[in-house]
C-alpha cells in the first residue's frame, strides 16, 4: 500500500480529484471540533503524531482552543469509490470585522460545509457566512452538528430528530434561495435524501446521511441504543459510534460527491471572482484550469510562523504549474522573485514538492513582502498587464500572526 505522502503526490496531479473547501459556521457551532475529527478520522494525524506526541499535541490543542489551532490550511486524503481524493480544508474566518479576509479566503475555496448546531439552529452568523460564500460562487453542503444532544439532553425520538433536521434543512435552503447566484437558484439547495445533508456529532466522531443509513442499514434507533448502552463510558461510546457511523467517511463522501472540483468550479467562478478579460490568454487558461498555461496564483493568507519566524503564504494556483526555481512576478508589489520552495499540505504538516499544478492549494515559505491578496504571475509576456484579484486597498489589512 502506498504511503500517505505517495498518495497525496499522485492525487495532486489529478485536479478532478481535488476539493478545495472551507467550514463555515456560527461561532461555537463546532467548526474546530469538526476539523479535528475529520483530520483524525481520515487518518491524517495518526501517522505523524503517534503515541505520546499525539497526546501532547491534543493537550496543547485543547489549551489553545480559543486561538487558531492550525495554520491557514490542512489537507486530507480520502478514498471514495476506489479512488483517492485530496481535500484541502482552508480556514475562513467567521467574523464580519475581518470581511476583507473572509472574502479573500473564500476565493480559494469552491465548496463549503455549513455547520449548524442541532439545538441552536440557524444563527445570525450562519446567514452572514453563507451569504459571503454564495456571493463568491461557493457551493454549500450542510452538516448538522451536536445531534448527540438530541439524544442525551432533549431525549427526542428518532422521528422527532428527523423532524427537527427537516426544519433546519428548510431554513438553510431558504437562505440558499435568497443568496444563491442567479444561475444556481434552485440548483444549490441541500437535500436530505441525496446526501448533501449529514447530521451527527463532531465531538463524538459520528455522522449519518440518508444514503449512508440506507447502504449500511443504520438507523437512529441503533444510535440511541449505543448511547444508552455506553452513556457512562464516553471513550467507549466514541469508539462504538466511530465504528458504526464514522464522521470522516460520511462527511468526506458528501464533500466529494456534492462539492465541485477546481476543474468544474473555475468555469463558472473565474468570471465572477476575477475582473479581467475572460477571452485573454490568462482568462482562458484560468477558465480551463490549464496547467500548461500562464501561471496565475492568488495569495489568500499570510501568517508568521512562531518557531521559524518565516512568512508562510497560502495560495491557490488558478492556472499554470509552479515549480521550484521559477521566476515569477508579484503584481501588487511590482517585483520579480525566484520561487525557492513550493509546499503542499499533508494533514497539518507542510511537505515540499518540486512543482504544483493549477487547482492546488500551496504554501510559499519565506517570501518577504508577500501580502494577502497578492496576484502572482509567470510565463506571460507582460506580467504588469495582467488583471489582479484584488485592488491595492486591501494592502493595509493586518497580517494575521499564528499564535
Q: Decide: residue 238, CB within 10 A, 0-12 exposed, 13-18 middle, 19+ buried.
A: middle
Minimum CB–partner distance for residue 26 and ligand GDP (Å)? 7
Sheet architecture: strand order including 73-80: 73-80, 83-90, 18-25, 111-117, 139-145, 197-201, 206-208
- Is 4 in contact with 120 (CB distance < 8 Å)? no
Q: How far from 148 is each of 63, 217, 234, CA to CA, in Å? A: 24, 19, 12
Nearer to ligand GDP, 4 or 223 (CB): 223
Q: Which is nearer to ligand GDP, 149 or 257 (CB)?
A: 149
Minimum distance of ligand GDP from residue 68's CB (angstroms): 10
Of 150 and 313, nearer to ligand GDP (C-beta) is 150
Per DSSP, the chain holds a count of helices (H) and strands (E) of 13, 18
Beta-carbon contacts of residue 288 (< 8 Å; ≥ 6 apart): 266, 267, 319
Q: How far is the CB of 28 from ligand GDP (least distance, A)?
A: 4
Name which of 93 and 320 has its Cβ closer to ligand GDP. 93
In angstroms, what is the minimal distance from the CB of 145 to ligand GDP?
5
Which H/E stretch holds residue 272? helix 262-273
Helix (H) or strand (E) holding 208: strand 206-208
Cβ distance to ligand GDP smaller for residue 118 or 389: 118
Chain contacts with ligand GDP (rule: CB under 6 A) = 25, 27-33, 65, 145-146, 148-149, 201-203
- Rounded to a whole number of angstroms, the minimum distance from the CB of residue 151 to ligand GDP is 10
Strand 375-378, strand 295-304: pairing: antiparallel
Residue 139, strand partner residues? 111
Smallest separation, CB 204 to ligand GDP (Å): 6
CA dihedral sign of residues 150, 156, 162, 165: negative
Least Å from the CB of residue 81 to ligand GDP? 27
Least distance from C-beta 80 to ligand GDP, angstroms? 23
* Residue 217 DSSP class: T
**Nearer Cβ to ligand GDP, position 29 or 104?**
29
Taking the least distance from each CB to ligand GDP, the nearer of 27 and 399 is 27
Is there a contact between 203 and 30 (Cβ–Cβ < 8 Å)?
Answer: yes
CA 41 from centre of chain: 15
25 or 134: whose CB is closer to ligand GDP? 25
Amino acid at each position: 500500500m502506498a504511503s500517505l505522502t505517495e498518495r497525496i503526490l499522485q492525487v495532486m496531479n489529478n485536479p478532478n480529484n481535488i476539493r478545495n473547501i472551507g467550514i463555515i459556521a456560527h461561532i461555537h457551532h463546532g467548526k474546530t471540533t469538526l476539523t479535528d475529527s475529520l483530520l483524525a478520522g481520515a487518518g491524517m494525524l495518526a501517522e505523524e503524531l503517534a503515541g505520546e506526541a499525539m497526546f501532547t499535541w491534543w493537550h496543547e490543542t485543547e489549551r489553545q482552543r480559543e486561538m487558531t489551532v492550525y495554520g491557514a490550511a490542512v489537507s486530507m486524503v480520502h478514498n471514495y469509490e476506489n479512488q483517492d481524493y485530496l481535500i484541502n480544508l482552508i480556514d475562513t474566518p467567521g467574523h464580519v470585522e475581518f470581511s476583507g479576509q473572509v472574502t479573500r479566503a473564500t476565493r480559494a475555496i469552491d465548496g463549503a460545509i455549513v455547520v449548524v448546531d442541532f439545538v441552536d439552529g440557524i444563527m445570525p452568523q450562519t446567514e452572514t457566512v453563507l451569504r459571503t460564500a454564495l456571493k463568491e460562487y461557493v457551493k454549500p453542503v450542510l452538516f448538522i452538528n451536536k445531534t448527540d444532544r438530541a439524544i442525551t439532553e432533549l431525549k427526542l425520538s428518532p422521528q422527532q430528530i428527523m423532524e427537527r433536521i427537516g426544519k433546519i434543512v428548510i431554513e438553510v435552503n431558504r437562505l440558499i434561495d435568497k443568496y444563491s447566484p442567479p444561475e444556481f437558484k434552485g440548483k444549490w439547495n441541500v437535500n436530505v435524501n441525496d446526501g448533501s445533508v449529514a447530521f451527527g456529532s463532531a465531538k463524538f466522531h459520528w455522522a449519518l446521511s440518508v444514503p449512508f443509513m440506507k447502504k449500511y442499514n443504520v438507523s437512529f434507533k441503533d444510535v440511541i441504543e449505543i448511547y444508552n448502552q455506553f452513556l457512562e463510558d464516553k471513550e467507549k461510546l466514541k469508539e462504538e459510534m466511530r465504528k458504526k457511523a464514522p464522521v470522516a467517511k460520511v462527511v468526506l463522501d458528501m464533500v466529494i460527491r456534492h462539492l465541485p472540483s477546481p476543474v468544474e468550479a473555475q468555469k463558472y467562478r473565474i468570471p465572477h471572482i476575477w475582473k479581467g478579460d475572460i477571452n485573454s490568454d490568462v482568462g482562458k487558461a484560468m477558465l480551463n484550469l490549464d496547467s500548461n498555461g500562464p501561471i496565475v496564483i492568488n495569495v489568500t493568507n499570510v501568517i508568521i510562523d512562531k518557531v521559524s519566524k518565516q512568512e508562510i503564504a497560502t495560495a491557490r494556483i488558478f492556472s499554470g504549474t509552479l515549480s521550484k526555481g521559477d521566476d515569477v512576478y508579484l503584481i501588487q508589489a511590482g517585483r520579480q522573485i525566484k520561487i525557492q520552495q513550493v509546499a503542499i499540505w499533508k494533514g497539518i504538516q507542510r511537505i515540499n514538492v518540486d512543482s504544483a499544478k493549477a487547482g492546488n492549494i500551496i504554501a510559499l515559505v519565506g517570501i518577504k513582502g508577500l501580502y494577502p491578496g497578492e496576484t502572482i504571475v509567470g510565463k506571460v509576456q507582460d506580467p504588469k498587464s495582467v488583471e489582479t484579484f484584488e485592488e491595492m486597498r486591501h494592502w493595509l489589512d493586518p497580517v494575521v500572526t499564528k499564535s
